[in-house]
């Protein structure tokens, strides 16, 4: 009886036959081009299988790219937001620097019109007392600042130094109630005294006669009387003249030309080109000369008659902006 299933060759024989066949096909494919069309057809048939085999890898790569792209986009977005914020801050700083540059140019142009020696200082503080108009600047005794020194900005006079420290100084503004300055009308030379009102918006002219030639729009400049403020600096512009008010004098109000509430950079004027030490030495010599002259005449030393000009160690008077001129001392 025949078996149901015929017994085939052994597996080892099959493997050997297939191995020899594969080697023979590789040799024929390498040496000859007879199998090239067959290989092309086989590649076309196997292409879908290649695509299916590579699909998991490509899917994983795309998912990884999507996740990394999303993460990188979020990080880049945050970075751009931070850079935009920094650029806005720099832009604001640039705007402020541009305004400071404009003010400094105006200040330098103003300094070019000043014949006296000047140095530029910066505002660093305000007096917290609302009834006192004083500011603090960053120049002091080490820079040659002295009591009574005129201070102005790009538009006009602001006040005078009333307190000197080694690296800072305190300035009394024109609008303080304790300050006054001799002025004259630039149009006709009419002299008057401008006093502070405690308001930063205007000054008042005292003791102006009813018949005085003064009108709205007149420019008031420093007259130089009192030898404290140099002459010719703009002080204020007349805005109101009241006549016939029942008072013996006119009521005259003027707006300061200086920007008292806005100026940050100021000019310190040195009318005397000598240094503070030279001024102090000259004042001491003048005092000694006056004392010697008085001693030769048999009298007492005339200290009050030969008062030296204001210097760095003198205190500025609190109630007025000018000090009386020093009498001439003759040897």
- Name which residue leads in pLDDT, 265 or 327: 265
* Among 122, 157, 126, 155, residue whose Cα is nearest residue 140: 122
* Among 223, 224, 222, 244, residue whose Cα is nearest residue 235: 222
* CB neighbour burial string for 62-87, b if at least 16 within 10 angstroms, e if fewer: eeeeeeeeeeeeeeeeeeeeeeeeee
* pLDDT over 50 at 330, yes or no: no
- Name which residue leads in pLDDT, 36 or 274: 36
pLDDT at 61: 83
- Name which residue leads in pLDDT, 276 or 206: 206
* pLDDT over 80 at 130, yes or no: yes
* pLDDT over 90 at 233, yes or no: no
pLDDT at 217: 93
* pLDDT over 50 at 158, yes or no: yes
Q: What's the whole-number mean pLDDT along residues 87-108?
A: 72
pLDDT at 213: 92
pLDDT at 96: 63
Task: Work out the mean pLDDT of the chain and round it to a whole number.
Answer: 78
pLDDT at 291: 74
Q: How confident is the model at residue 59 (pLDDT cuts 50, 70, 90)?
A: confident
* pLDDT over 90 at 111, yes or no: no
Tell me the pTM: 0.56
* pLDDT over 50 at 55, yes or no: yes
In three-state form (DSSP H/G/I as H, E/B as E, the rest C), the secondary structure along 40-56 is HHHHHHHHHHHHHHHHH
**Helix or strand or coil: residue 143?**
helix
What DSSP designation does 327 have? P
Task: Please give the CATH superfamily to which domain 118-269 belongs.
Answer: Rod shape-determining protein MreC, domain 1 (2.40.10.340)
Q: What's the whole-number mean pLDDT along residues 18-32?
A: 81
């Amino acid at each position: 009886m025949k078996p149901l299933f015929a017994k085939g060759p052994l597996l080892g024989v099959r493997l050997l036959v297939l191995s020899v066949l594969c080697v023979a096909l590789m040799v024929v494919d390498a040496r000859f081009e007879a199998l090239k069309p067959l290989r092309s057809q086989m590649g076309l048939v196997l292409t879908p299988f290649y695509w299916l085999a590579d699909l998991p890898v490509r899917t994983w790569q795309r998912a990884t790219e999507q996740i990394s792209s999303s993460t990188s986009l979020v990080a880049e977005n945050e970075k751009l937001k931070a850079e935009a914020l920094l650029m806005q801050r720099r832009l604001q700083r640039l705007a402020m620097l541009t305004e400071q540059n404009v003010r400094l140019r105006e200040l330098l142009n103003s300094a070019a019109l000043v014949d006296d020696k000047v140095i530029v200082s910066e505002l660093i503080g305000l007096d917290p007392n609302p009834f006192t108009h004083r500011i603090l600047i960053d120049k002091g005794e080490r820079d040659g600042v002295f009591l009574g020194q005129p201070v102005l900005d790009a538009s006009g006079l602001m006040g005078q130094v009333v307190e000197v420290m080694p690296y800072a100084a305190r300035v009394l503004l024109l609008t303080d109630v304790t300050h006054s300055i001799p002025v004259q009308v630039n149009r006709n030379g009419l002299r008057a005294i401008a006093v502070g009102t405690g308001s930063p918006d205007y000054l008042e002219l005292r003791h102006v006669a009813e018949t005085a030639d003064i009108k709205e729009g007149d420019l008031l400049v420093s007259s130089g009387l009192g030898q404290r403020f140099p002459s010719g600096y703009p002080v204020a512009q007349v805005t109101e003249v009241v006549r016939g008010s029942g008072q013996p004098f006119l009521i005259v109000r003027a707006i300061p030309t200086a920007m008292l509430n806005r100026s940050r950079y100021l000019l310190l004027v040195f009318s005397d080109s000598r240094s503070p030490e030279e001024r102090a030495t000259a004042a001491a010599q003048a005092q000694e000369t006056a004392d010697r002259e008085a001693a030769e005449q048999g009298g007492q030393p005339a200290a009050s008659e030969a008062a030296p000009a204001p210097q760095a160690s003198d205190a500025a008077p609190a109630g007025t902006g000018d000090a009386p001129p020093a009498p001439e001392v003759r040897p």
